[in-house]
Amino acid sequence: MRYLTAGESHGPQLTLIIEGLPSRLPFSKEKIDTELARRQKGYGRGRRMQIESDQVQILSGIRFEKTTGAPVALAIENKDWVKWVEIMRPDTDPGQAEKRRVARPRPGHADLNGAIKYGHRDMRDVLERSSARETAARVAAGAVAKQVLEHCGIRVASHVVRIGSVATERIDLNGWTAETIAEKSEASPVRCLDPEAEQAMIRVIDEAKEEGDSLGGVVEVVVENVPVGLGSHVHYDRKLDARIAQAIVSINAFKGAEIGIGFEAGERKGSQVHDEILWSEERGFHRATNRLGGFEGGMTTGEPLVVRGVMKPIPTLYKPLQSVDIDTKEPFAASIERSDNCAVPAASVVAENVVAWEVAKALLETFSSDKAEDLLREVERHRNEVKGF
């Protein structure tokens, strides 16, 4: 299974093509729209989110709420486009683009590197595509992947564990299920499970906003009921933990990924990191703890997957940072019209969906999956086989 996205932040739409879905998979447009609405929310988002109300238009590959097995094409409209037609048009430039040319790169964004690399004197030709608007298409892909996972009883959830200086304790997953994490985080404006930390997170976002500054943070994704043995130890690009880390760091502004206790593993002794192996009639092989976040040797262990990602603060700041005009080479202090000042809650929904995509892709690689029925039968057969191993 693979996908491609196309589209600019202020162009007419985002386009997504997914290839390799099983046929006859129950397909819900509503579930994709729900996921897109979740991505738009979250304390700290800017004015653009009041303009957009993301929904997919289905263009191919679906009939009567089921996949046919053909590529699925989806579109998401940019409602803001109507105000950008003269600047974003693909045909003759009526002079607007030159008048509105972007020559002042923002520190921390893709503007300057992209302009140098692609030879653009108008950095709009870079920023339109480097914008995190594209994550709407990736969430739509993840929302389709989630329907593959759901078909096989696999659930994905996410929550925010840090915003700026405010962090929550690491949760013990024995007390939580993906369902309860999803419910509780959904009810929080910052997608945080701890009500005290939630209030403190809201405070630091407000403080940063008053100062014209921005904040980043850390999100955690949990995947439950994952079959043993997705991914592989035999080749670098088949290791599922590595693919998930790539997917996380590919999200705009994400600078790192952790599996399980992640970087903390470097501080601890082996006996405090590795998860002891147990066996019982009821559960078969399982682990006493899940510090390695459901992965050993690039393969899933059958324990819940626990993945974290760190997002840097938003680069576009109301408080100006120094930069240099590419025409005059003069220094200037950038000022802006609008931006998010913290998008960590929204980004946790993106993280959840890119992880869902990678897990669903690995599932379809492991099990026969031309038809949705084959996939489910194979996954159930495998689960029984693992119990008897």
Ligand X SMILES: C=C(O[C@@H]1CC(C(=O)O)=C[C@@H](OP(=O)(O)O)[C@H]1O)C(=O)O
Question: Does the annotation place 312 within a ligand binding site?
Answer: yes
Q: Is the Cβ of residue 215 or residue 375 nearer to ligand FMN in the bound state?
A: 215
Exposed / middle / buried, residue 89 (Cβ in 10 Å: 0-12, 13-18, 19+): middle
Residue 20 binding ligand FMN, by CB under 6 A: no
| C-alpha torsion 223→229→231→235, nearest 10 | 150
Q: How far apart are CA 148 and CA 382, in angstroms?
A: 17
Q: How far apart are CA 303 and CA 14, in angstroms?
A: 36
In angstroms, give the least distance from the CB of 106 to ligand X. 8
Q: How far apart are CA 71 and CA 101, in angstroms?
A: 37
Q: Is the Cβ of residue 229 or residue 256 nearer to ligand FMN in the bound state?
A: 256
Residue 323 binding ligand FMN, by CB under 6 A: no
Q: How far apart are CA 26 and CA 28, in angstroms?
A: 7
Q: What radius of gyration do the chain's Cα atoms show?
A: 22
Angle of the 29-40 helix axis to the 135-151 helix axis, nearest 10? 130
| 89 Cβ contact partners less than 8 Å away, ≥ 6 residues apart | none
In angstroms, give the least distance from the CB of 133 to ligand X. 4
Question: Does the annotation place 34 within a ligand binding site?
Answer: no
Residue 9 interacting partner from ligand FMN, ligand X, none (CB closer than 5 to 8 Å by kind): ligand X
Q: Is the Cβ of residue 59 or residue 112 nearer to ligand FMN in the bound state?
A: 112
Residue 133 binding ligand X, by CB under 6 A: yes
Span near ligand FMN by CB under 6 A; candidates 81-89, 188-196, 307-315, 357-365:
307-315
Question: Smallest Cα–Cα separation from 301: which of 364, 229, 251?
Answer: 229
| C-alpha torsion 317→43→304→152, nearest 10 | -110
Check if the beta carbon of residue 161 is closer than 8 Å to that of residue 219. yes
- Residue holding tokens 């996921």? 35
Question: Smallest Cα–Cα separation from 160: which of 194, 136, 133, 206?
Answer: 194
Span near ligand FMN by CB under 6 A; candidates 131-139, 143-151, 320-328, 377-385:
131-139
Among 340, 355, 358, 367, binds ligand X (CB under 6 A): 340
Among 14, 56, 62, 110, binds ligand FMN (CB under 6 A): 110
Question: Does the annotation place 302 within a ligand binding site?
Answer: no
Residue 136 binding ligand X, by CB under 6 A: yes
Q: Which of residues 20-79 bind ligand X (CB under 6 A)?
A: 46, 48, 52
Among 9, 348, 353, 369, binds ligand X (CB under 6 A): 9
Residue 114 binding ligand X, by CB under 6 A: no
In angstroms, give the least distance from the CB of 68 to ligand FMN. 32
Question: Does the annotation place 24 within a ligand binding site?
Answer: no
Q: How far apart are CA 367 and CA 145, in angstroms?
A: 15
Annotated binding site for FMN: 129-131, 252-253, 297, 312-316, 338
List of residues contacting ligand X (CB under 6 A): 9, 46, 48, 52, 131-133, 135-136, 252, 338-340
Annotated binding site for NADP(+): 39, 45
Annotated binding site: 39, 45, 129-131, 252-253, 297, 312-316, 338
List of residues contacting ligand FMN (CB under 6 A): 46, 109-110, 130-132, 135, 251-253, 312, 314-316, 339-340, 343, 346-347, 350
